[in-house]
Amino acid sequence: MKTTPSITRFGDEAIRLTWSTKIDISTHQLMMAWIEILNEQYNTYLLDFTLSYNELLLYIRDPQQIHSFLEELEQLCSTSMKPKNRPGETVYIPVCYDQEVAADLKTFCQDKSIAVNDLVRLHTKVRYPVHFIGFLPGFPYLGGLDKQLFKARKSKPRSSVPEGSVGIAGHQTGVYPTASPGGWNIIGRTPMKFFDPESHPPSLLKPGDDIQFYSISVKTFYTLKNEIAKQSITSLRDQHLIYFKRYD
């Protein structure tokens, strides 16, 4: 596998690092290594970044410095970069897989000729790496979905998908952090908050985290949802510590 990215300018203010692979965990680990080094050593240039499966977009503080930053990146490219091992921290996410809170669950199982129990087993057995956050504030793009659960987006997107909805689109699974129009097949719903602009940090997950879903009943879903709504949370990770222990 080619481990060095190609480096190109993208507009006045950003530089793109691109890897030739598609969805691949070792590319992701290489990108995490790049991010760590850039954050530590190139802070004078780097204002912010966006990443995806195989692209890292670097935003520069001072657009006049774009040429010298390009040169520095070319040099960095010639040094050998080791993939960064994932920190191994896993966030556990309770999900209610029930038609009452997941509008596409029945149709999904019928179309795939699969029992709900099997869907739950296949969806909860994987520890999913968070490749990146995009689409909506706090929306995680996860790798590793079992191929028996692959299903194309709905041909007609819903005008509003409730917050916390767990969906499948193509080879991906993810969670809607806020209510939004969307075309993913909704198979479950979590009571956990994934995004809160007043929290620090504002999203539950970051690139490099892992998540694991576990199944809860409709009753537990509503109990947890009410409790989380009542609680004032300063860190989104705290809600997980409080509720995970108490109910399961």
Partner 1 sequence: MIEFLHAGLHTTIQDGGRNTYRSRGIPVSGAMDQQAFHFANFLLRNDPETPVFEFTQQGPKLFFHARTHAVLTGGSYEATLNGAPVPYATPFFIPAKSELHIKHLYEGNYGYLSIENGFHAHQVLGSASYCPAVNDAAKCKKGGNYVFVRTIQNYEEKHAQVSRGFAKQQKTKVPVYAGPEFDLLSAEDQSALVSSNFSISAHSSRMAIQLNHSLNCKAEDILTAPVQPGTVQLTPGGDLIVLMRDAQTTGGYARILQLSHAGVNSIAQCGVNEQLTFSMIK
Residue ranges binding partner 1 (CB under 8 A): 8-14, 16, 18, 22-23, 47-57, 59, 63, 132-139, 141, 178, 195, 197-198, 201-203, 206-207
Q: Which is nearer to partner 1, 51 or 109 (CB)?
A: 51
* Residues ≥6 apart with Cβ < 8 Å to 162: 101, 176, 179, 189
At its nearest, how many Å lie between partner 1 and the CB of residue 166? 17
At its nearest, how many Å lie between partner 1 and the CB of residue 211? 15
DSSP state letter for 174: E
* Burial (Cβ within 10 Å: 0-12, 13-18, ≥19) of residue 80: exposed
At its nearest, how many Å lie between partner 1 and the CB of residue 10? 6
Q: Which is nearer to partner 1, 35 or 96 (CB)?
A: 35
β-strands 90-96, 210-216 pairing: parallel
Q: Which is nearer to partner 1, 18 or 220 (CB)?
A: 18
At its nearest, how many Å lie between partner 1 and the CB of residue 80? 25
Q: Which is nearer to partner 1, 48 or 238 (CB)?
A: 48
235, 192 contact by CB (below 8 A):
no
At its nearest, how many Å lie between partner 1 and the CB of residue 24? 11
φ and ψ at residue 172, rounded to 5 degrees:
-115, 150
C-alpha to C-alpha distance for 1 and 19, rounded to whole angstroms: 10
C-alpha to C-alpha distance for 82 and 19, rounded to whole angstroms: 15
Distances (CA, A) of 194 to 35, 90, 123, 189, 205: 23, 15, 19, 12, 7
Q: Which is nearer to partner 1, 138 or 167 (CB)?
A: 138
